[in-house]
Amino acid sequence: MATKYIPEPFRIKMVETIKMLSKEERVQKIKAANYNLFNLKSDDVYIDLLTDSGTNAMSAHQWAGLMVGDEAYAGGKSYFRVIETAQDLFGYTYIQPVHQGRAAEKVLFPLLLDKGKIALSNMFFDTTRAHVELTGAKALDLVTPEALTPSVPYPFKGNMNTERLEKTILELGKEKIGVVVMTITNNSAGGQPVSIANMAETAAICQKFKIPLCIDGARFSENAYFIKKREPGYQQASIKDITKKFYSFADMFIMSAKKDAIVNIGGLIGIKNNETLIQQVKSNTINYEGFITYGGLAGRDLEAMAIGLTEVVDEDYLTYRIGQIAYLANKLDEAGIAYQTPPGGHGLFIDTSSLFPHIPYNQFPAHTLAVELYIEAGIRGCDIGSFMLGNDPETGKQRKAEFEFMRLAIPRRVYTQAHLDVVAEALADIKKRASSIKGFQITWEPAVLRHFQAKLKRIDE
Ligand code: F0G
């Protein structure tokens, strides 16, 4: 049965013109970008699904909020609005704004980790892994095994493998584990949710071994929506209640507000009842980000963030948002294109190992599809696979990712049904010639987070 598109619970009063270049131009632009989609100009992209981060459309209310942003260096009104909103939502005593998610990681992780330590997670995202490794520590992913088979649906593919978590702590020694990070939704596993039951089990293990538990909550409301729909006992609960309950299990959180605060820039740190850590977070924020009452942001950004945090828990918005991804997924079912099932919260993750069985992980099948999709229809997606994972910091060898996903991340409140139809049609056309498409090799790369800057060429070039 076809999945119906859920109509937008908003109307549009401001537009941005986009256009598609000719195929010859697209071929030339991506070559000139050294086959790295981060090097393209956004003007040369027709539908930009590179990320849902900072690419959101703000509401009229948020735009109006920019005008009343308090730009005081210390103690501004907009700061207090963010603090009150976030305290109410997450239930944490200390809230620290920072300029984006990785700033939160940079401030917090060195306080928990250093050389010889290990950080465990259901799955780190690229910057969280990088900031663990920048402290000298190691990052280990322990996602639930159900996540590893994209074709078989499971309601909570974002979950932590709690059995492995406990075993790993016992094997490595509890004093070696600096932090356990629960990423919601689990971005790298396909925007997949974590259940409250799994969070509770993880918290019990962390408490038993006295290891701090940190939520990476970039997409907390999408996670809460899935809990409401899928986890027994939460059907009557509000998104806010589910969020507060979920957060009650952790000791701290980091958050990129560029996702579920529906803004273009911003981040948060939250700490529950740990005065020493709070003081250290304040010091690091002042050193790296700016005074604690603005944390690297303008007062107007804080104002927009406070408003976005209240809009993102609205269920009509979430039904539309999650429905949009399910609609696109259904179109791909019709074309026989495999993706991580069920569809995720912020995007659809195409399973390129099954689309390109002839391209090995070290020729980057997901990156190959991203390039092809740009050439086909000017659409920009990105690799969430071995190309993004990069090399082992100790051996320098290419790591093999658990998945080779090409992510189509959907910006919030930006694209319409017709745009999604264009994406599905382009992918269906690519599928017809999939076996003739060749993979890539890297010709230059930097040491850390290489996918943002690497240069590539086709293997037969
Ligand atoms: N944690 C998660 C789960 C993320 O998805 C991201 C960013 C970050 C942390 C870092 O936040 O970008 O504000 O510094 N993810 C973006 C993405 C970039 O495209 O998924 P940031």
Task: Give the tens place of pLDDT for each residue, 132-176.
Answer: 999 999 999 999 999 999 999 999 999 999 999 999 999 999 999
pLDDT classification of 378: cutoffs 50, 70, 90: very high
Report CA(313)–ligand 1 centroid distance (Å).
19
* Res. 1: pLDDT tops 80: no
pLDDT classification of 393: cutoffs 50, 70, 90: confident
Task: Give the tens place of pLDDT for each residue, 182-191.
Answer: 999 999 999 9
User: Is the CB–ligand 1 distance for residue 186 below 6 Å?
Assistant: no
Task: Give the tens place of pLDDT for each residue, 344-362.
Answer: 999 999 999 999 999 999 9
Q: What number does the ligand 1 atom closest to the CA of 54 have?
A: 13
Task: Assign 3-state DSSP to the chain and report helix, strand, coil percentages, each to 5.
Answer: 45, 15, 40
pLDDT classification of 63: cutoffs 50, 70, 90: very high
Q: Break the chain into its structural domains and give their ranges.
A: 23-52+314-458, 60-311
Side-chain half-sphere CA neighbours of 54 within 13 A: 10
User: Is the CB–ligand 1 distance for residue 267 below 6 Å?
Assistant: yes
User: Is the CB–ligand 1 distance for residue 221 below 6 Å?
Assistant: no
Task: Give the tens place of pLDDT for each residue, 86-116.
Answer: 999 999 999 999 999 999 999 999 999 999 9
pLDDT for the residue numbered 2 = 87
The H or E element spanning position 138 is strand 138-141
Task: Give the tens place of pLDDT for each residue, 222-233.
Answer: 999 999 999 999
N residues, the chain: 461
User: Is the CB–ligand 1 distance for residue 183 below 6 Å?
Assistant: yes
* Res. 12: pLDDT tops 90: yes
Domain 60-311 annotated CATH 3.40.309.10 = no
Q: Are strands 379-380 and 347-351 parallel, antiparallel or unpaired?
A: unpaired
Report the chain's mean pLDDT, rounded to a whole number: 97
CB 346 within 8 A of CB 52: yes
* Res. 447: pLDDT tops 90: no
For residues 193 and 189, what is the distance between their CA atoms, to the nearest angstrom?
Answer: 9
Task: Give the tens place of pLDDT for each residue, 404-418.
Answer: 999 999 999 999 999
Pick the CATH number of 23-52+314-458 from 3.90.1300.10, 3.40.50.300, 3.90.1150.10, 3.40.50.720: 3.90.1150.10
Residue range 204-214: average pLDDT?
A: 98
pLDDT classification of 394: cutoffs 50, 70, 90: confident
pLDDT for the residue numbered 121 = 98
Q: Do 23-52+314-458 and 60-311 agree at the fold level?
A: no
Supply the residues annotated as catalytic: 73, 125-126, 216, 218, 259, 451
